[in-house]
Amino acid sequence: LESANFQNIIPNKDVCVIISNPGGGIRNKFLNKLEKLKKYLSVDYAGRYKNNIGGAITHNYNSKEFLDFVSQYKFIISMENSREDTYITEKIIHGLLVKTVPVYWGSQNVEDYINKERFIDLKSDTDSDINKSLSMMLNLKKFPHNWLNMVNQPNIPNNKLTRTIDDILSDI
């Protein structure tokens, strides 16, 4: 997950959302509040759900074209479809790989695997936690040096893997 590339350019676009499934109550609650900030944060829906870019992105999630698309944004909404202890999918990885800021909801153990300084973690669906995450997004946009600092943090906690394959197998 580590990239040797140091990010020093701030993308022009604000928020990328790639969703096909209209379900996800917590994600939708967050997005409804995010949309109210459209004066400050523009949101591009690039999936089939709420698409506002003129067609859903059709690139394979692991393709260079997909990652190039995501890299145009300061933030990517990276919310799982459910919350399980070790259920962490590609959603958060996309933002990490292209040096953007994932806004994550999902596994409460994500910080065991991903550096907590590298993403915005929506801890719960409370208005307080949603507002805290949205405030962080607004602050990172307002203070570009803080955004750069976040995206240039190591992706792995303490910049090293401390868990063994046995630990991971035990989790699974």
Q: Give the chain's mean pLDDT.
A: 90
Which tens digits make up the pLDDT trace of 150-160? 999 999 887 66
pLDDT of residue 84: 84
pLDDT of residue 89: 87
pLDDT of residue 82: 82
Distance, in Å, from the CA atom of 72 to the CA atom of 94, rounded to the nearest integer, reads 12
pLDDT of residue 168: 66
Which tens digits make up the pLDDT trace of 96-122? 999 999 999 999 999 988 999 999 999
Backbone angles phi, psi at 56, to 5 degrees: -70, 140
User: In the chain, which stretches have pLDDT less than 70?
Assistant: 1-4, 159-165, 168-169, 171-172
Task: Name the pTM for this structure.
Answer: 0.89
